[in-house]
Amino acid sequence: MTQKVKFIDEDGYAIVANLTFHPLNEEIYPRANHGDDIELLKTKMQAWFDKYGDANHTPITVCPKTGVIYSGNFRVWVAKLLGFLKVRAVYCAERTYDPKADRYEEIQFLKSFNQDGKRNESNYRTALRLWTKESEAYFDKYGKELSNKDRNNFATDARIDKDIFKKLVVIGEERPDLVDDIVADKITVRKAYKLVTIQAPKEIVDPNRHTFYDDLKKYPDIVPFAIKTSVSMVRKIEAVHGGIIRDSVLGWERNTRTNFLSHSTMSAFALGFNNTGDKKLQCASAGAISNKTYADILFQFLTDLANKKLKGSKDRYFDTQLEIKACEFNSSAGNTKIYSAPGSSKMPSQEFIVACHTDDFSKFLFMMVTVDGSEWRVDSKNAVISLAQLYKLKPTYLLGEMFEGKRKVEVQWGNA
């Protein structure tokens, strides 16, 4: 007859090498997510061992038949790291480990050991991980989702406000990277939730929308006029009070200087289109249209013309517009970023006039390019796209150009 394995000796110790980590524990509480917990345990367990000769004050709990660890997986891991051969242990009286056991029930049992204060379940990342695994196991078992009441009860057990946890679940599903930013205090739950719940425009996209490329060919005076006018405006602003804006001691923030170019470009191009006399191209800038928060230049005639094709439908086509973006060159096309509101990532394809300037406003790059919302990268604050990314979208250059260098995208500046 095979002798029964004895995992805990008469003195209450288990040999670390004989124990087995619970496979679900790493799924629910991955060590990679608990580096701080592990480091703290290393300090505490080493101090305890130095003082008392034991690796751990609180015994771990193991299955009497298999040696699988129900409680204390991290402590055993740290014991291995520190080279301790034995840990204090007790047998689990309520359950024996069965690899074929019901996954949902097993998670519930493991969870019961970790809500006693040994691990911070109220850590948002930890709580979301546990909720996700628990929800998956519940669906596999019952074929339905956990209810809102279940979610609220989970939040209460984890000592997290119910409304906050509801938002966290949405954030975790849509943008799990933002959970790390929340834990690191880089962004609030409210702001992160707002980012992931930005709604796409209600308007539909006109399959035959107006794109302005042909207009710039038909009316070749638009571009030189708009560039000359915008550069003239920004240089006059930049020269105010002897150039104080760029003063090495008293100078203004760089983004403020770039905003001058953005607004000057917007007004100059709006004026350039209006100067054609073509009624289809009559337009107004954002500063003149209080109820249009996203259109830098709105072409109302073209917008109305497009919507007539819908013949009384409740749908409405997205406004015919031009977006204006500006940036200051930052050492390379890849490092030069254009920023927008996070909602840009939900916008349909639209045309942008992009203006880039050197530090002293001596050289410029102007282009028109079609950008789809999916091209933007959204971080915790903005939608972002670089000049190098715009290069890949094959822009129409209005002044200067970009080209493929040996290792990176280079800029050939234009003089204005």
Q: Residue 323 pLDDT > 90, yes or no?
A: yes
Above 60 in pLDDT, residue 292? no
Residue 258 clears pLDDT 60, i.e. is over it: yes
pLDDT of 100 > 70? The answer is yes
Q: Which helix (H) or strand (E) holds 400?
A: none
> What's the pLDDT score for residue 311?
85
Is pLDDT above 60 for 141? yes
Q: Please return the burial class of 333, using the count of CB atoms within 10 Å of its CB with bins 0-12, 13-18 and 19+.
A: buried
Q: What rounded mean pLDDT belongs to the chain?
A: 90
Residue 121 pLDDT: 60
Sign of CA dihedral 189, 194, 196, 197: positive
* Whether pLDDT at 369 is above 90: yes
pLDDT per residue over 27-73, tens digit each?
999 998 888 889 999 999 999 999 999 999 899 999 999 999 999 99
Indicate whether 248 pLDDT > 50: yes
13-15/60-62 β-pairing: unpaired
Predicted confidence at residue 250, as pLDDT, reads: 86
Whole-number pLDDT of residue 1:
37
What is the Cβ-side half-sphere exposure of residue 231, based on CA atoms within 13 angstroms?
A: 21
pLDDT at 117: 46
What is the structure's pLDDT at 166?
96
Q: Whole-prediction pTM value?
A: 0.69
Instruction: For the chain, list the domains and their CATH numbers.
Output: 1-119 (no CATH), 121-197 (no CATH), 213-415 (3.40.600)
Residue 122: pLDDT over 80: no
Least reliable range by pLDDT among 149-153, 192-196, 261-265 = 192-196
